[in-house]
Amino acid sequence: MSQPRHIPYDAWGHRIDKLVLTEAWTRLKQFAATEGLVATGYKDRPNLSPFHRIIQCTKLYLFSPSSGLYSCPLAMTDGAAKCIEQLNNEFKDDIIVEAYSRLTSRDHSQFWTSGQWMTEPAGGSDVAMATQTQAVPLNNGTNDYKLYGYKWFSSATDSDMALTLARDSEAENRLSLFYLETHLKSDINKLNGIQIQRLKDKLGTRQLPTAELLLDGTIARRISPPGRGVAHIAPMLNITRLHNSISAASVMRRVLELAKDYSTHPRSLVNYFHTFHYI
């Protein structure tokens, strides 16, 4: 699969931060929605209950080795849906209700993917210490804020929304959980106070757009209690770990099957490999 490209400026020098993706990547999103690779995990078809998660995991196991790494944004999308599902039991918010509907949709024209923007330049797995992004309240009678910070590693940069952590000035600078949409509602072609600084030059997974992002007044909504961001993003982390386990097992199985097939075809010096106990 071809690699994504980042075009920071147009011919007139205006900042556009355009991501150029392949048709195959776009079609994988459509396929994922139609097959319900996220939706199946959320009881969208009552006749599947109580086995909806098992059926979803089985489909992900079959999809992952041939997914061109589209399994990565699906993992974060599933995690965001689970996180919002649990949060919505506490906070009824029309914006996140719509987001949940899109994340779990089987209609590819409505389906959204989500990012999980955690890592910052300070690095480390202790996000409570490493997160430096600041959240400034808009004081407009809602839980809307503007975010200012630098996200060092944001996989699925082409996602429609993201969940992220930031230091909340309304919570003694502790971390709260925020929901944001990557593009403006008023102009879907413009990013929401986000600048793509560069795409990561990675050793592997190069077809997946991963970037460093500058948040410069990004409009976001706090969806956790003040200062309780880490606790409320935990369901997202747990679901993405499940996806990673499924992907690892399925890819290893694919490699094993390819090795077995190769070893059983007559070739010089290798046609006896299938007799080895580790094959």
pLDDT: which is higher, 18 or 129: 18
Whole-prediction pTM: 0.91
Q: Is the pLDDT of residue 274 over 80?
A: no
| Beta carbons of 149 and 181 less than 8 angstroms apart | no
Q: Please state whether 178 falls in left (phi above 0), alpha (psi between -120 and 50) or beta.
A: beta
| Beta carbons of 39 and 106 less than 8 angstroms apart | yes
Confidence (pLDDT) at 272: 57
Give the residue among 89, 88, 90 at the shortest CA–CA distance from 100: 88
112-133 pLDDT tens trace: 999 999 989 887 677 778 899 9
The residue-averaged pLDDT of 177-182 equals 96
| Beta carbons of 52 and 41 less than 8 angstroms apart | yes
CA dist., res. 191 & res. 197, Å (int): 13
Q: Is the pLDDT of residue 92 over 80?
A: no
The residue-averaged pLDDT of 241-262 equals 93
CA dist., res. 89 & res. 34, Å (int): 27
188-222 pLDDT tens trace: 889 999 999 999 998 888 899 999 999 999 999 99
Going by pLDDT thresholds of 50, 70 and 90, the confidence category of residue 6 is very high
134-177 pLDDT tens trace: 999 998 888 999 999 999 999 889 999 999 999 999 999 999 99
**What is the rounded average pLDDT for all residues in the chain?**
90
| Beta carbons of 208 and 115 less than 8 angstroms apart | no
Confidence (pLDDT) at 123: 74
What tokens were used for 231? 């606790």
| Beta carbons of 135 and 166 less than 8 angstroms apart | yes
